[in-house]
Amino acid sequence: MSNHRVASRYAKSILDLSIEKGLLEEVFEDFNALAAMAKANRELGLALSNPVLTSDKKLKVLKALFAKKSSALTIPFFEIVSRKNRENILIDIAKEFVAQYNLHKSIQVAEVTTTTALTDAQRSQLVAVVKQISGLNTVQLVEKINADLIGGFVLKVNDRQLDESLSSKLKALRVQFSQNHYEKQF
């Protein structure tokens, strides 16, 4: 079975259990923190997927990271995953949990890349476009700045991308001008 499918099933089970116990927000904070730690610190992901390290050592690392502030379900869940020797997919579980949480709460995460910071009017227009595309009630914009775009924006919603940047338009023109339609082809 693929890691994505296994991670999805684990994430679904902890999501259902946290809803049942009324600890959804606390568990979300823990798994969101784990995903953010893994993104910021590559060594954490490498340590969790390292076959040389024992499950006990990996569990100690996780307990040390979440000892001070974690929900009542997080550490027992880590223990279950550790008993099953599935620590290597724990970061995938965290990412999948965040995705399923957003779906459960009807939140659409969209990424917009621009050359400068967005104004409030631009932000509200993009939120309206994302709501129309996704059909979900709440939109969470992740704003990035990239000066290489020259102008315009790139909007990513799920697997869709709307590229309205000047750099992509210039690339398209460059390709179009590289083809000389007036020269005779042999």
pLDDT digits (tens, 9 = 90+) for 40-86: 999 999 999 999 999 999 999 999 999 888 999 999 999 999 999 99
pLDDT-derived band at 137, boundaries 50, 70, 90: confident
Radius of gyration of the chain from Cα atoms? Answer: 22
Q: Which percentage of the chain shows pLDDT scores above 90?
A: 82
Both tokens of 5, joined, read 């499918």
Length of the chain: 186
Q: What is the per-residue pLDDT across 28-44, written as a single tens digit (0 to 9) for each?
A: 999 999 999 999 999 99
**Which CATH code for domain 3-103?**
1.10.520.20
CA–CA dist 166, 29 (Å, integer)? 38
User: Shortest CA distance to 30 belongs to which of 114, 91, 104?
Assistant: 91
User: What's the burial of 32, exposed, middle or buried (CB within 10 Å: 0-12/13-18/19+)?
Assistant: middle
Summarize pLDDT for 112-132 with one digit per residue, the tens. 999 999 999 999 999 999 999
Q: Are 162 and 155 in contact (CB under 8 A)?
A: yes
Domain boundaries, the chain: 3-103, 106-178
Cβ pair 136, 106 in contact under 8 A: yes
Quote the tokens at residue 108: 């659409």
Place of tokens 């083809």: 179
How many of the other CB atoms lie within 10 Å of CB of 10?
Answer: 22
pTM: 0.83
Can you tell me the distance from the alpha carbon of 34 to that of 38, in angstroms, rounded to the nearest whole number?
6
Starting at the earlier edge strand, list the strands of the sheet with 107-114.
Answer: 138-145, 107-114, 153-157, 160-163
Phi first, then psi: what are they for 113, rounded to 5°? -115, 125
What pLDDT, on the 0 to 100 scale, is given for residue 186?
A: 62
pLDDT at 156: 95
How high is the pLDDT of residue 30? 96
